């Protein structure tokens, strides 16, 4: 997905949250100072295979088998720590550096790609941690128009951004261990972000002509006319 296609969705999201675009653009520009070109061919082995987009919900320990059975394992944020502790190899981590940035630094030092995201709320963290990451294994992303080596493949939260990236590089099947849209342990802001993650995944599965198991039982609520439904933003070829 390119930013021109995602931009109307991004505008709807930040309007819903009351976020400002200018702050996201500042974060991108700061990230450009530390980013180096990342060759997407490093994800060539994601093409045509099953990719686990692994979330950090409390259900993850019970769903490790789904991650282990996938060809590629992508960890969203602290899911990386759970997977590593369980002996599951992490092939990529997607993070906005807010909870466990040291894990990302350790993974890049081992040559494991980390997708590090810059947005308006994490500029100090970007300045602190991106220099600690091995640049050759770090793909830096933004929520606004890409600039230089900083890219945008769509998505809003760590988890759905991982799904959009996997789609972009040609994953055949996406599975979602460790996801819960009804996690009772999160605060109101996180509940709202999870709602948007569900909407974005619904949009992505429409574009792919796919059905993600993680959305079973909630599609009607995502498609009804009572709220913004991602499906209205169109369906089409995802690659």
**Could you report the per-residue pLDDT of 161-198, keeping only the tens digit for each?**
999 999 999 999 999 999 999 888 889 999 999 999 99
Q: Could you please state the CATH topology (level 3) that the domain comprising 3-230 is classified under.
A: sialyltransferase cstii, chain A (3.90.1480)
d(CA 10, CA 156): 8
Taking the CA atoms of 197, 199, 203 and 205 in sequence, report the sign of the dihedral they define.
Answer: positive
Supply the pLDDT for residue 225.
41
| Token pair listed for 176 | 């979602």
**Could you report the per-residue pLDDT of 126-159, keeping only the tens digit for each?**
999 999 999 999 999 999 999 999 999 999 999 9
Quote the pTM value: 0.94
User: Where on the phi/psi map is residue 189: left (φ > 0), alpha (ψ -120 to 50), or beta?
Assistant: alpha
């Amino acid at each position: 997905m390119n930013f021109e296609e995602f931009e109307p969705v991004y505008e709807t999201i930040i309007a819903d949250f009351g976020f400002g675009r200018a702050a996201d653009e500042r974060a991108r520009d700061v990230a450009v100072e530390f980013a180096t070109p990342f060759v997407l061919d490093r994800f060539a082995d994601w093409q045509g295979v099953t990719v686990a987009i692994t979330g950090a919900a409390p259900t993850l320990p019970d769903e490790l088998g789904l991650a282990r059975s996938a060809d590629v394992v992508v960890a969203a944020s602290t899911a990386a720590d759970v997977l590593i502790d369980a002996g599951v190899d992490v092939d990529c981590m997607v993070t906005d550096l807010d909870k466990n940035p040291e894990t990302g630094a350790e993974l890049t030092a081992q040559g494991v790609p980390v997708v590090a995201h810059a947005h308006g709320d994490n500029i100090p963290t970007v300045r602190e941690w991106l220099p600690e990451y091995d640049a050759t294994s770090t793909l830096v992303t933004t929520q606004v128009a890409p600039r230089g080596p900083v890219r945008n493949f769509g998505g809003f939260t760590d988890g759905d951004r991982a799904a959009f990236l996997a789609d972009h590089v040609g994953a055949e099947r996406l599975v979602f261990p460790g996801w819960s849209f009804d996690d009772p342990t999160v605060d109101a802001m996180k509940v709202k972000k999870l709602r948007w993650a569900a909407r974005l995944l619904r949009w992505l599965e429409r574009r792919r002509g796919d059905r993600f198991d993680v959305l079973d039982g909630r599609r009607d609520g995502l498609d009804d006319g009572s709220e913004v439904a991602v499906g209205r933003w169109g369906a089409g070829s995802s690659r």
